[in-house]
Structure 1
Amino acid sequence: MTESPAQKPAAPGRFRLLLTRTSRLPVWWPLPLCALLGTVCGVSYGLLKAPEYAATSYVVAVPAKDSDPAAALGFAQAYGRIATSDSTLSYARVAAGVPARELRTRVETETSPDSPMIAITGTSSRPAEAADIANAVADAVFVSSNQVSKDTGVSLTLFSQAITPDEPVSLPAALSAAVGGCAGGLLGGLVLLVRPRRTNDVTPGGVPAPARHPEPAGERELV
C-alpha cells in the first residue's frame, strides 16, 4: 500500500524554509534578540519581586581596664562569626519573631581587621522586621559575650541600634532592566562567536544547490 502525499512528513520542507528565512536575516540578529529578551526578563524580575529592606546594628568590643587592647580586635572577629550560630539565633528568634531556620538566611555579619566593631544586618520584605532582626541578633551576641567577659577581658557594647529603613535595597525595575539587557547582549555576543558560519549550500528557494563537477581538461581546450 502506497503512502498518499498528504501522509508524507513535511518536516524536511519546513526545516528548509526555516533555514531560508534565517539566512535572509543579518548575521548579527542574535545580539538584539538576546538583549531584548534580557531586558524583558529584567523588567519582569523588578516588577514581580517584592522589595527587600535592610537594617544594620553595630556592636563594638571593648577591652577591660587591665586587658590588652589588641584582644578586643580578636574577640570582635570571633563574636562576628558566632553571631549566626545556632545558639545565638535560637536566642534571637523570640525577639525577632522569625524562626531560627529562616532567621539564618536573613542575617549577615561583617567585621573589620582594623576596628573591633561588628556590623549585624537584617533583611526582610518589611522594613520594621528588618530592624527587629538586626537588633535581636545584636542583643543575643551582647548577652552571650558579656556572660564570659570576666574570663575573656573583653565586653561588647551596643554602639548603634538598627532603625527602620525608608527605602529598599533591592534593584528597581529600571536598573534590573538595564542589567538584564546587558546580560542578554553579552549572551548574544557569545552566540555570534560560537555559531557556525553560513555556507552557500542552500539556494534562496530552499533547494540545495547542485554540485559542480570540474570539466575534463580536454573539453576545456576544445572550447
Structure 2
Amino acid sequence: MTDSPEQEPAPHRRKGRVRARFARLLRWWTLPVWVLVGAVGGAAYGLLAPRQYTATSYAIAVPAKDAQPGAALGFAQAYGRIATSDSTLAYARVAAAMPVRKLRSQVRTETSPDSPMIAITGTSNRPGEAADIANAVADALFVSSNQVAKNTGVRLLSFSQAIPPASPTSPSARVATAVGGCTGGLLGGLVLLVRPRRTDRSDSAPGPEAGQPVAATVVPAPAGEATGKQRGRV
C-alpha cells in the first residue's frame, strides 16, 4: 500500500524546520569562541605584561601672612602644571637617575579645585624606583617654587613623601582574564548583530498541512489566444 500524495509534504516540512533551527543554533557558535579568545588574550596580558607600581608624593601650597588665602589655591594649580615641565624635570633627572624623556613618561601630577594640594605620582616596574621618581620631581618643584616665594607670597611645602608600594597597581591575571572574556563577548555579540541573516523558505513560508486541499491558481489566457481557440472550434 502506497502513501497518498497529500501525506508526503509533511515529513519534508518537518525536516526543513529542524534544519533551519539547527542552522540558527550554529550561528551562535561564534559568541563562545569570541569569549574564549578574549579570555585567553586577557590571561596572556596578565601573565606576560610587566608589573607596574605607583608611588605618590604630596605637596601643599601655603600662603604668607600678608597674602590672600585664595592665592594658595591658584598657585597650587599653576605649580601642578609646571611640575612636568622641561625645567623641573631637568633638575629632577639627576636624583631620579634617568633621562628627561623617560622621566616625563613615568610621572604625572594631579590637583584639586577645592584644596591647594598637589599629588605627584611616579610609575615604574620597580617599587623603589616609582617612589624615587615621585620624590625627585617633588623636590625639584620645591626648589623652583620657593625661589620666587617672596614675589608670589606662596610657599610650597612637603605634605607627604612617597614610599615604595607593597603591591602593584596593574591588574592581576584573574582580572585581566575576566576583562578579556567580557570584551570578547561584547565583540562577538556585535558581530552577530551586524552579520546578514539568511531566511529559510521552508520555515518562513510553510506549505499546506496534510489532508488539506491545495488551492489552484488559474491564470487567464491572453485575449488573442482565447479568440483564436474559439474560432477554431467554430
Instruction: Trace 1:1-150 onto structure 2 (pairs within 5 A).
Output: 23=23, 26-150=26-150
Which one-letter code corresponds to 2:162 in the other structure?
A: A
Q: What residue in structure 1 maps to residue 169 of structure 2?
A: 169
Instruction: Provide the aligned length of Structure 1 versus Structure 2.
Output: 185
Q: What residue in structure 2 maps to residue 5 of structure 1?
A: none
Which one-letter code corresponds to 1:180 in the other structure?
A: G
Instruction: Determine helix, strand or coil for the equivalent of 1:27.
Output: helix
| CA deviation map 1:155-183 (0-9, x unaligned) | 00000000011100000000000000000
Distance in 2 between residues matched to 1:188 and 1:217, nearest whole Å: 50
Return the offset for 1:24: 7.9
Q: Which consecutive unaligned segments of at least 5 residues does structure 2 have?
A: 1-21, 202-215, 220-234
So what's the TM-score if we normalise by structure 1?
A: 0.79
Which one-letter code corresponds to 2:189 in the other structure?
A: G
| CA deviation map 1:91-150 (0-9, x unaligned) | 101100111001111001000011001000000000000000000000000000000000
Distance in 2 between residues matched to 1:195 and 1:51, nearest whole Å: 39
Instruction: Determine helix, strand or coil for the equivalent of 2:138.
Output: helix
Which one-letter code corresponds to 1:108 in the other structure?
A: R
Which one-letter code corresponds to 1:138 in the other structure?
A: A
| CA deviation map 1:17-36 (0-9, x unaligned) | xxxxx958622112111111
Instruction: Determine helix, strand or coil for the equivalent of 2:198.
Output: coil
Which one-letter code corresponds to 1:52 in the other structure?
A: Q
Instruction: Determine helix, strand or coil for the equivalent of 1:113.
Output: coil
Distance in 2 between residues matched to 1:142 and 1:172, nearest whole Å: 36
Aligned CA RMSD, in angstroms, stands at 1.8
Instruction: Determine helix, strand or coil for the equivalent of 1:114.
Output: coil
Distance in 2 between residues matched to 1:145 and 1:187, nearest whole Å: 50
Distance in 1 between residues matched to 2:120 and 2:218, nearest whole Å: 86
Distance in 2 between residues matched to 1:121 and 1:140, nearest whole Å: 14
Distance in 2 between residues matched to 1:45 and 1:23, nearest whole Å: 35
Higher percent of residues as helix: 2
Distance in 1 between residues matched to 2:85 and 2:29, nearest whole Å: 52
Q: What residue in structure 2 maps to residue 205 of structure 1?
A: none
Instruction: Determine helix, strand or coil for the equivalent of 1:39.
Output: helix
Distance in 2 between residues matched to 1:66 and 1:56, nearest whole Å: 31
Q: Which consecutive unaligned segments of at least 5 residues does structure 1 have?
A: 1-21, 202-214, 219-223
So what's the TM-score if we normalise by structure 2?
A: 0.76
| CA deviation map 1:47-66 (0-9, x unaligned) | 00010000000000000011
| CA deviation map 1:36-78 (0-9, x unaligned) | 1000000000000010000000000000011001000000000
Which one-letter code corresponds to 1:44 in the other structure?
A: A
Which one-letter code corresponds to 1:74 in the other structure?
A: G
Return the offset for 1:217: 3.7
Which one-letter code corresponds to 1:153 in the other structure?
A: G
Distance in 1 between residues matched to 2:67 and 2:162, nearest whole Å: 29
2:145 matched to 1:157? no
Distance in 2 between residues matched to 1:164 and 1:68, nearest whole Å: 37
